[in-house]
Amino acid sequence: MKAVVLVGGFGTRMHPLTLHVPKAMVPLVNVPFVERLVTYLSRSGVDEIGLSVCYLPDPIRNHLSRRFDRNLRLHYLHEDQPLGTAGALKNSESMVAGQRFLALNGDVLTGINLREMMDFHLQRNSQITIALTPVENPTAYGIVETEADGRVVRFLEKPTWDQVTTNTINAGIYILEPEVLKLIPAGKPCSMEREVFPQAVEAGWRVHGFPTDDYWIDLGTLEKYLVAHRDLLSGRLAVDIPGDQVTEGIWIGPGAEVDPSAVLEPPIVLGAQCRVAEGVRVGPYAVLGDRAVVEEKATIRDCVLWDDVSVGSRAMLKDCILGSSCIVKAGATVEGVRAFPHHTTVE
Ligand code: GTP
């Protein structure tokens, strides 16, 4: 099975983290997000993946080519300018080579059962199958209305509350028959959600929604990035967590040193070669990247620290994200959802 993953966006809602790092390379519990996505696809039976890249493509290519061997065929489909979700898929036409394929927004973290989705697609002889996921507030998304057998009747982007007839939204995961690419103009920006899908329904194509309650979140914003960490640490989606689970909810990487007086409140993850000094409190819900250094009596909870971060003594961190090599000065207090790009000194 082939898949095309869209990882070319600017990730502006995750600024400043994504000013120098593509969203796909943002770590999620110490593993770059795109690596988690490729692993999920490979375990779902996908053996050939096109990564549709545009903004900051090199870190994505360099990382994946190191992490995955030749059992998984990876291609990089470059756009000189962002072509939108449909234009990017059109750009993958030669790789798709006339076969049925999966298409995914590269920023969804999910456990959706792709094999079940494929069965659903085949049983209905569908041309376009869209995974549908329930959300509490559909007005922030595009809702998809279906008949009882799943046939899509209408799309509504960002509806007002009085227009809301369903809480199921487009999850950004599609199974497409190759002829769908004929609906997309070549070489110019075009959107699947706003242009191609509504046109296909209008023209009578067989478009279905596959409803699922499996875990799903899109990593669009800093808030959701923190929610996704909480979900993974509390086991709402089973993923590989680097390090050894030394006790329920506490993972510690190789070479980490933790002073016996430090209080570790699960769930937490400490990366390889971390140093946690006396009287420090870590957790609940904290992820420290590799080689983090936390000086005495500092407190860290509900935070994500990337690699090589230093936290000075008595600093207090809550609900924040620190990019690689950030330095938090002794005694600093940071609270509220905030993010600092790499090499920032936080006072
Ligand atoms: P924001 O700028 O914060 O909206 O983030 P984003 O750039 O990620 O945009 P959005 O959330 O709409 O994109 C959903 C997925 O599609 C992400 O994985 C993007 O990387 C990807 N994407 C969006 N636009 C393009 C594009 O023009 N080309 C490619 N190749 N991928 C895109």
Beta carbon of 220 within 6 Å of any ligand 1 atom: yes
Query: Would you tell me how many other CB atoms lie within 10 Å of the CB of residue 188?
Result: 12
How many angstroms separate the alpha carbon of residue 8 from the centre of ligand 1?
Answer: 6
Q: Which of 10, 105, 194, 196 to mutate to test the pocket of ligand 1 (most atoms within 8 A of CB)?
A: 105
Q: What is the pLDDT of residues 215-255, one digit of tens each?
A: 999 999 999 999 999 999 999 999 999 999 999 999 999 99
Query: Would you tell me how many other CB atoms lie within 10 Å of the CB of residue 58?
Result: 11
Beta carbon of 7 within 6 Å of any ligand 1 atom: yes
Which domains does the chain possess? 2-222 (3.90.550.10), 241-346 (2.160.10.10)
What pLDDT is attached to residue 71?
79
Going by their DSSP bridges, the two strands 48-53 and 250-252 should be labelled as: unpaired
Closest CA to 140 of 24, 207, 257, 220: 220
CB of 131 closer than 8 Å to CB of 115 = no
Q: Which atom of ligand 1 is nearest to the CA of 83?
A: 27
Beta carbon of 196 within 6 Å of any ligand 1 atom: no
What pLDDT is attached to residue 40?
97
Going by their DSSP bridges, the two strands 108-110 and 216-218 should be labelled as: antiparallel
Closest CA to 195 of 312, 343, 87, 321: 87
What pLDDT is attached to residue 140?
85
At 236, is the secondary structure helix, strand, or coil? coil
Mutual angle of helices 57-67 and 33-43, in 10-degree steps: 50
Query: From atom 30 of ligand 1, which residue's Cα is the shortest distance away?
Result: 8
Q: What is the pLDDT of residues 300-310, one digit of tens each?
A: 999 999 999 99
Structure tokens at 59: 């870190």
How many angstroms separate the alpha carbon of residue 6 from the centre of ligand 1?
Answer: 7
Beta carbon of 289 within 6 Å of any ligand 1 atom: no
Q: What is the pLDDT of residues 146-164, one digit of tens each?
A: 999 999 999 988 889 998 8
Going by their DSSP bridges, the two strands 268-270 and 250-252 should be labelled as: parallel
How many angstroms separate the alpha carbon of residue 52 from the centre of ligand 1?
Answer: 10
Q: Which of 4, 7, 109 to mutate to test the pocket of ligand 1 (most atoms within 8 A of CB)?
A: 7
Ranges of the chain with pLDDT below 50? none
Tokens 């699960």: give the residue.
266
What pLDDT is attached to residue 158?
85
Beta carbon of 55 within 6 Å of any ligand 1 atom: no
Residue 151 per-residue DSSP state: B
Q: Which of 28, 54, 81, 85 to mutate to test the pocket of ligand 1 (most atoms within 8 A of CB)?
A: 85
What pLDDT is attached to residue 187?
87
Query: From atom 22 of ligand 1, which residue's Cα is the shortest distance away?
Result: 9
Which residues are within 8 A (CB) of 321 and not within 5 positions of it... i.e. 6 or more apart?
Answer: 17, 222, 225, 226, 303, 304, 305, 306, 338, 339, 340
Residue 33 per-residue DSSP state: H
Residue 141 per-residue DSSP state: S
Q: What is the pLDDT of residues 271-281, one digit of tens each?
A: 999 999 999 99
Q: Which atom of ligand 1 is nearest to the CA of 10?
A: 7
